[in-house]
Structure 1
Amino acid sequence: MAELRTERLVLRPACSGDLDALHAIMRQPRAMAYWSTPPHDTLAQTAEFLDGMMTIPPGEGEDFAIEHQGRMIGKAGLYRFPDIGYILDPDHWGRGLMREALTAVIARAFAVHGLPRIQADVDPRNGASLRLLARLGFRETDRQARTWLVGEEWCDSVYLVLDAADWPQACRTA
């Protein structure tokens, strides 16, 4: 898997040394508020998630650790093509870092992997994520109720898609 560099970030393959930093993010209720699982209580939960990132079969997906100023601050990628997913330490929210990371991930998915489209499943309460994806050119295709059981709470989904043919325009306006 390649390493991607942007103006402020390094997106690289995840490694076992990322466990503590990733757990510091995934144990935070604020970071995990709209994730598909509750916050991680144990390091073992995060280790299992990290192992999944590191062992994606080539050609099935690509998930990157995000580094900013030499520190791992999140993850972005396509765990399984064509589904995009991302999480960022809340200490770094609101600075355009995830937009920067996703721009690089999306460009690679279309140019290198030849994906015809990328799709997202977002909790409708996650307005920041919905706005981010809209700025990147994603469009809503459907909504469904009670799609994820997170802990003891049923959550809904907004489904979005970005077609490769729309990406150059989205890139110019993002």
Structure 2
Amino acid sequence: MYIKTARLEIREFTLDDVRSYYKLESIPSVARYQYNAERTMEESKEQVGNAIEAQTITPRKVYELAVTQDERFIGRIGAVVKDDHAVIWYSFMPAVQGKGFATEAVEAFLPELGDGLTLEIECDPRNEASWKLGLRLGFKEMGRVEKVEFCKGEWVDSLVMQRVVPKAGVEEKSPEGE
């Protein structure tokens, strides 16, 4: 998959991206709201390898894409698609956060997943940047669960947001069915 926007290129990962992936995912503030701790170089190599392998599976279920600006790696976005449901994620370098890059990248990526899907973002409610991005992209809060998982030495809550992408030719409805 390859997507070009006004400022970004969104593309498949290659082995050349291992160091960039590591630089992003080893930052404590980036890993703060993820289930995993900061990634090691070895874990980063494994994750990029998994992303490359996912590119070859048909039908494709896992998308893990590199986001670059002027050929400089600035983040990653992805989704796991199962049946008519897709769970979306995104992670960007702290230096580029707050500049609209995540919104631009995810907005360009979502249509590539197809129609007739319920898109979902699940995040820690303390991750304000993540859920605010969801709101900007038209996601609606579907629910919050307190103490859903013990992660990194603390109980964490969960915020679930959804957006329905109707099948082609069908009028869009809100996730609540209104």
The farther-off stretch of 119-128 and 57-66 is 57-66
Query: Which whole-Å CA distance do the structure 1 matches of 2:134 and 2:27 have between them?
Result: 23
State the match for 2:97 in structure 1.
93
Name structure 1 gaps, 5 residues minimum. 170-174
State the match for 1:172 in structure 2.
none
Q: How does 1:29-48 map to 2 (within 5 A)?
A: 29-40=28-39, 42-48=40-46
Contact conserved, 2:30 with 2:92, CA < 8 A, in 1?
Answer: yes
Please provide the CA RMSD for this pair: 2.2
Query: Which whole-Å CA distance do the structure 2 matches of 1:167 and 1:60 have between them?
Result: 26
Count of aligned pairs: 165
What residue identity is the alignment partner of 1:101?
Answer: A
- TM-score by length of structure 2 reads 0.84
> CA 1:50 to 1:150, structure 2 compared with 1: closer, same or farther past 3 Å?
farther
Max Rg structure: 2
Question: How far does residue 74 in structure 1 lie from its aligned partner after superposition?
Answer: 1.0
Instruction: Indicate yes or no: 2:2 matched with 1:3.
Output: yes
Question: How far does residue 168 in structure 1 lie from its aligned partner after superposition?
Answer: 7.8
Name structure 2 gaps, 5 residues minimum. 174-178
- TM-score by length of structure 1 reads 0.86
Higher helix share: 1
The farther-off stretch of 57-66 and 26-35 is 57-66
Contact conserved, 1:66 with 1:73, CA < 8 A, in 2?
Answer: yes
Cα deviation code 1:31-59 (max 9, x no counterpart): 1111121112x211111222222222332
Report runs of 4+ in structure 1 exceeding 4 Å deviation: 166-169
Query: Which whole-Å CA distance do the structure 2 matches of 1:29 and 1:83 have between them?
Result: 23
> CA 1:125 to 1:167, structure 2 compared with 1: closer, same or farther past 3 Å?
farther
Instruction: Indicate yes or no: 2:17 matched with 1:13.
Output: no
